[in-house]
């Protein structure tokens, strides 16, 4: 499942450099995660790096993009092939 940045985002920029898929960018008001690029760091790390560094704890799962771990790994491999 792709991740989603919530309204409590403080635009601190901590999440951007740790994303292995370059899925995070500046949105109109807060940072946004491209669900087509987000793999929850599956394929690169053991856990989502953006969630680890987020000081406002505003990153959660995006319910509009349910994906299994295998699907996330396949997406990661396609992005990095």
Give the predicted TM-score (pTM) of the model.
0.94
Q: Express each pLDDT in 37-73 by its tens digit.
A: 999 999 999 999 999 999 999 999 999 999 999 999 9
User: What share of the chain has pLDDT > 90, as a percent?
Assistant: 99
Fold of 3-79: Alpha-Beta Plaits (3.30.70)
The ranges assigned to domains in the chain are 3-79
Q: Could you please report the per-residue DSSP string of 25-75?
A: EE-SSSEEE-TTT--TTTTT-SS-HHHHH-TT--EEE-TT----HHHHHHH
The pLDDT value recorded for residue 45 is: 97
The pLDDT value recorded for residue 31 is: 98
**Rounded mean pLDDT of 2-12?**
97
The pLDDT value recorded for residue 34 is: 98
């Amino acid at each position: 499942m792709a991740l989603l940045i919530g309204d409590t985002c403080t635009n601190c920029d901590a999440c951007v450099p740790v994303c292995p898929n370059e899925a995070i960018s500046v949105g109109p008001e807060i940072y946004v995660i491209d669900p087509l690029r987000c793999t929850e760091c599956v394929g690169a790390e053991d856990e989502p790096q953006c969630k680890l560094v987020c000081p406002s704890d505003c990153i959660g799962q995006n319910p509009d993009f349910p994906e299994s771990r295998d699907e996330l790994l396949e997406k990661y491999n396609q992005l990095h092939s």
